[in-house]
């Protein structure tokens, strides 16, 4: 049986490094949202691992919900068209909304989501991303909370995938180009 590690070019961030970044983000969010009506919204599927770890580091009361969107299909480049596959179950009016994303890449998906959810009258909408890849940005959007900045490479692990694989790696790694080309 093939080992997933054979498909990796290099490890960018270890499990321990990610845990420290998540702990720091959780502390900042807890402080910033003290006495607020926090609703954490995970953007599925990629944010699942990050969000699970992050919410355990948040020390204030919060609600959670999930939004599933797609702009990639099985390719490596965004189609540019964002489709909502699963909408929120929560009412947003008056809530302080924190969108949780695995990676801020082109910004197309997050820009669409932020615009869409802002029409539902939340008290605020902010973005927390584990990874930021500013070299690929196509829209004018910035995250309010950024864990790490990554190079313009195809990365997997800790929730990030290629064709639905590699999400279960406990670290962030660069995928060998021959795997996805």
Residue 135, domain member (yes or no)? yes
**Is 157 a member of any domain?**
no
Domain that residue 77 falls in? 17-152
Percent of the chain with pLDDT over 90: 83
> Residues 174, 12: contact at Cβ < 8 Å?
yes
**Could you tell me if residue 148 is inside a domain?**
yes
Total domains in the chain come to 1
Does 61 reside within a domain? Answer: yes
Is residue 69 in a domain?
A: yes
Find the mean pLDDT for residues 168-179.
Answer: 95
Does 165 map to a domain?
A: no
Binned at pLDDT 50, 70 and 90, residue 4 comes out as confident
Residue 76 resides in a domain = yes
Q: Establish whether 96 is a catalytic residue.
A: no
Each residue's pLDDT tens digit, 36-89: 999 999 999 999 999 999 999 999 999 999 999 887 554 555 556 788 899 999
> Peptide bond preceding 45: is omega within 30 degrees of 0, i.e. cis?
yes
pLDDT attached to residue 181 = 84
pLDDT at 76: 52
pLDDT digits (tens, 9 = 90+) for 113-125: 999 999 999 999 9
Mean pLDDT of the chain: 92
* CA 39/CA 124 separation, integer angstroms: 10
- CATH classification of the domain holding 68: 3.40.50.2020
Q: Which of 105, 132, 140, 144 is catalytic?
A: 105
Which two tokens mark 66? 């999930």
Task: Tell me, yes or no, whether 110 lies in a domain.
Answer: yes
Measured CA distances, 180 to 80, 95, 121, 122 (Å):
19, 40, 41, 39
């Amino acid at each position: 049986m093939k080992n997933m590690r054979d498909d990796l070019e290099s490890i960018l961030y270890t499990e321990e490094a990610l845990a420290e970044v998540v702990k720091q983000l959780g502390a900042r969010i807890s402080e910033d949202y003290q006495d607020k009506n926090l609703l954490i919204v995970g953007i599925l599927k990629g944010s699942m691992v990050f969000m699970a770890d992050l919410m355990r580091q948040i020390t204030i009361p919060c609600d959670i919900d999930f939004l599933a969107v797609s702009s990639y299909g099985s390719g490596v480049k965004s189609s540019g068209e964002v489709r909502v596959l699963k909408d929120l179950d929560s009412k947003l009016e008056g809530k302080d909304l924190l969108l949780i994303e695995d990676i801020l890449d082109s910004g197309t998906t997050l820009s669409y989501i932020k615009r869409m959810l802002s029409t539902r009258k939340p008290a605020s909408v902010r973005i927390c991303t584990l990874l930021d890849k500013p070299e690929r940005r196509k829209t004018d959007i910035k995250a309010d909370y950024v864990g790490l900045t990554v190079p313009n490479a195809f990365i997997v692990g800790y929730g990030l995938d290629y064709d639905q694989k590699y999400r279960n790696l406990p670290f962030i790694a660069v995928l060998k180009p021959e795997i996805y080309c």
